Structure 1
Amino acid sequence: MSHTLAYVLGVIVLIIGIGLSVALHELGHMLPAKHFGVKVPEYFIGFGPRLWSTRRGETEYGIKAIWLGGYVRLLGMLPPARADHPDKPGSMIAEARAESLSELGPGEQDRAFYRLSTPRKLLVMAGGILTNLALGIICLTVALGVVGQPAYTATLSSVSECVSSDIDAGAACTDADPTSPAAAAGLRAGDTITSWDGTPTTTWADVQAAIAAAGTEPAAVVVDRDGQELNLTVTAVEVPRTVYDAEGNPTTDDSGEVVTQLRPYVGIGPSLGTVRTSPGDIPQVVGSAVGQTLKAIVTLPVGLYHAVAAGLGLEERSPDGLVSLVGVGRIAGEVSSAGAGTGTGLPLSVRLFYMLNLLGSLNLALFAFNLIPLLPLDGGHVAGACWEGIRRVWARTHRRPDPGYADTARMLPVGQVVFYLLIIMAAILIWVDIVAPI
């Protein structure tokens, strides 16, 4: 597969994943709303021109051209104006109320969203948010526990023919170089080392530790070759190897010379694959991902500042910082096309891990973002329902009249400002992802 085709395929897979996430998010709103009797005239994935739609009962289901979100239209989201606090005729709030209630017939007033009890409002509006949380957890759990994290495995990708004069520099073999211990023992690329000197090995780190422990003594090595178990004996040799620091840079002494250390050498290289995370460790890893996502939302202004600074060339772009859908699409394309057409591409399992991790992270971001208690986000409606419930409980406990529905329509001007701020933020992040991509 060509690099370009693989790149496009990665972006398409991401778009489909986003579309499914949006569809399920809106379903999380629609199903409880319908269950509680709210009238739902439209359920659409995407915005802009209608590509396809069908009507089932009173609801039109469909797909629109721009897959940057979706919506489910619940009638009566805004309550009528209070008699003691009427709207200004022709105002944005008055028009929004009229539109919200216009499709409810004379016998359907009880089907307005605003007529629901506080717990039911919370279930409807939190349904989409919790759906994204569940999707994020599922994607990350499958990526970690079923597919596995990218890691070097106990399967060999290469076997050196000799002990060259400069191993770390990858010097070519000469006639004067001795045969490597791996080649002398009969190891081959594609062999999977299942034990070394009696120690079971499942990862490359296990193999490295076992080689170091065995030293230069003959070691019994069991390998799996094309489904057949073979028993070999490998005797490592001691060679000087470069010492690296924690950041992967060669360590030097006071005179500037590279520091070396004698270590057992076999002459084998690992293949890249995936290693499954222990079931007991998955909750901690997923919990950490949820916590980091929530932290990113809380520190959103700081993250945006650093993104702009990176776009202006004032600092390096952080791989853990904010990113737009353009940046996410670029990452998906690069993961899908890495090494395509060269024979050195990432294994399918590694690509699958990154795609699931990407979709899981996106769903966690949608979950956290929608917790912001401002319209037009779901969190704004959740906050309105909570405020309504608190006022009514307070009134009951103090034997006061029912204060009525929370008038979320009064927050529409704030919601409009938030909407424009979201557009500006998206535009800024798209610009940063173009000029200073991760």
Structure 2
Amino acid sequence: MTVIAFVVGVVLLVVGLAASIALHEVGHLVPAKTFGVRVGQYMIGFGPTLWSRRRGETEYGFKAIPLGGYISMAGMYPPSRAEGRAGGGFFATMVQDARTANDETLDGDDGERVFYRLPVYQRVIVMLGGPLMNLVLAIVLFTVLLSGIGLQTATTTVASLSECVPATVGAECTAQDPAAPSQAAGLEPGDVIVSVDGTPVSTFAEASAIIQASPGEQLTLVVERDGAQQTLTATPATISSTDADGQTTQIGFLGIAPTAEYVRQPITAGPQAAFENVAAVAEVIWQLPIKVWDTAVDLVTGQERDPNGPLSVVGAGVLAGEVASADAPVLNRVAGILGLLASLNIALFVFNLIPLLPLDGGHVVVALWDGLKRAWAKLFRRPPPKPVDATKLVPLTFVVVIGLIVMGAVLILADIFNPVSLF
């Protein structure tokens, strides 16, 4: 059953990712058609075509490698005759091949329904439409997760009592350890803590903060049991706690474990979580080459990977499988898959904004540069400049693609042989 659940989790992740890619391309397709650009293909995946159907002037279909998608717009770049043929050499040949492929989308003429002729703002809208679709989808998923299902929160309802007072936080009980103060105080599972030492509490974190700050001090607890309030007294024991910086402090310990429940958040929680994730993912993307290098080092040395580092699709699939097969309630597993898909869409949003071709951000930069040149010429009353020919950037694009392939391969190998695990 666990293996089946793991496979189900992987399949759900793949389907969700495919849907995210499809919607990303819809984000390009709709504004392109709205602005009159001729779109020849809308494809999910790369490589050989598995299935396609033509509707009007556009062929819609699926390809064999489901690691992305694209739409083929007429005249992404100006026709090659505007610049002439390139010279010899490997990169020059690549430039000419790109121009030839672009010319084929023009249907033999330099018509009006081409991308490069659009006003700058329309080209920017078309290219940003894909990433923005991923952002919107992430906001929807986070909203469903946080406002529909809720955020799992430790409540003031007592789930269980500790058997002893451990020497340090997290230590196992031994026969020599004294009984937990919660038992002497008369607390019972199911009690709802109303106030601690005269301070009303609505979350376990609030109750815990008062208890930890009061080692050795007698506290008055008001609890609700069977619909009636009772007043109890308890003296927290003193134990050692070590923080992330290695500093050891003495805190109060009562010995109660809270009940975790899903608490629905305000409707604004979804957008807030999405934009917080944007900032976190942007920080990872900004340092991506360094983080991939660190991942490669961890792979070779066998060290534990940074759980907040980059993942490949393989790694995301493994995490989805672990979530689906976890020994947890179904709602918890559904929430985990939704959170993972929302985070993947944030990653797609941020990654595609990188201002390098062939990514969407690179096309936005080309459009803005074209607009800047035209504005400069108009300001100084010069003749309109020729359209920016981005095929000249094919060598740089080639280097970027090779870099992405290498980093992707490193991450895939790391996710297979040194995976990040949630448990």
Give TM-score, length-normalised by structure 1. Answer: 0.80
1:288 Cα deviation after fit: 3.5
Answering whether residue 236 of structure 2 is matched by residue 233 of structure 1, we say: no
Does structure 2 retain, via aligned residues, the 8 Å contact 1:327–1:430? yes
Q: Which residue of 2 aligns with 1:180?
A: 183
User: Quick one: distance in 2 between partners of 1:321 and 1:75?
Assistant: 38
Compared CA separation, residues 304 and 166, structure 1 to 2 (3 A): closer
Does structure 2 retain, via aligned residues, the 8 Å contact 1:165–1:171? no
Compared CA separation, residues 101 and 159, structure 1 to 2 (3 A): same
User: Quick one: distance in 2 between partners of 1:356 and 1:422?
Assistant: 27
1:217 Cα deviation after fit: 6.1
Q: Which residue of 1 aligns with 2:285?
A: 297
1:247 Cα deviation after fit: 3.8
User: Quick one: distance in 1 between partners of 2:242 and 2:3?
Assistant: 37
C-alpha deviations, 1:276-296, integer Å up to 9, x for none?
A: 556677766544322222222
Answering whether residue 393 of structure 2 is matched by residue 411 of structure 1, we say: yes
1:385 Cα deviation after fit: 0.9
Does structure 1 retain, via aligned residues, the 8 Å contact 2:238–2:250? yes
C-alpha deviations, 1:294-313, integer Å up to 9, x for none?
A: 22222222212211221122
Does structure 2 retain, via aligned residues, the 8 Å contact 1:145–1:279? yes
User: Quick one: distance in 2 between partners of 1:177 and 1:424?
Assistant: 55
Q: Which residue of 1 aligns with 2:115?
A: 113
Does structure 2 retain, via aligned residues, the 8 Å contact 1:50–1:63? yes
Q: Which residue of 2 aligns with 1:204?
A: 204
User: Quick one: distance in 1 between partners of 2:247 and 2:97?
Assistant: 68
C-alpha deviations, 1:179-232, integer Å up to 9, x for none?
A: 9357x56x44xx372734676554322343576799756644225xxxxx6224
1:127 paired residue among 120, 126, 129? 129
Q: Which residue of 1 aligns with 2:95?
A: 93
Answering whether residue 41 of structure 2 is matched by residue 59 of structure 1, we say: no
The residue matched to 1:401 in structure 2 has which SS? Answer: coil
Compared CA separation, residues 410 and 249, structure 1 to 2 (3 A): closer
1:275 Cα deviation after fit: 4.4
Code of the residue aligned with 2:364 in structure 1: it is: V
Compared CA separation, residues 403 and 335, structure 1 to 2 (3 A): same
1:367 Cα deviation after fit: 1.9
C-alpha deviations, 1:100-158, integer Å up to 9, x for none?
A: 23254467821122222222111111111222233334434444444444443334433
1:353 Cα deviation after fit: 3.8
Compared CA separation, residues 394 and 82, structure 1 to 2 (3 A): farther
Code of the residue aligned with 2:9 in structure 1: it is: G
Code of the residue aligned with 1:127 in structure 2: it is: G
Compared CA separation, residues 234 and 268, structure 1 to 2 (3 A): farther
Tell me the matched-pair count.
410
1:418 Cα deviation after fit: 1.7
1:28 Cα deviation after fit: 0.7
Give TM-score, length-normalised by structure 2. Answer: 0.82
* Counterparts of residues 10-49 of structure 1 (less than 5 Å): 10-49=9-48
Q: Which residue of 2 aligns with 1:255?
A: none
Compared CA separation, residues 276 and 244, structure 1 to 2 (3 A): farther
The residue matched to 1:244 in structure 2 has which SS? Answer: strand
The residue matched to 2:381 in structure 1 has which SS? Answer: coil
Q: Which residue of 2 aligns with 1:379?
A: 361
C-alpha deviations, 1:46-70, integer Å up to 9, x for none?
A: 2234343333222222233332111
Code of the residue aligned with 1:429 in structure 2: it is: L
Does structure 1 retain, via aligned residues, the 8 Å contact 2:45–2:68? yes
Compared CA separation, residues 260 and 353, structure 1 to 2 (3 A): same
* Unmatched 5+ stretches in structure 2: none
1:318 paired residue among 302, 306, 309? 306
Compared CA separation, residues 117 and 8, structure 1 to 2 (3 A): same
Q: Which residue of 2 aligns with 1:81?
A: 80
Compared CA separation, residues 33 and 270, structure 1 to 2 (3 A): same
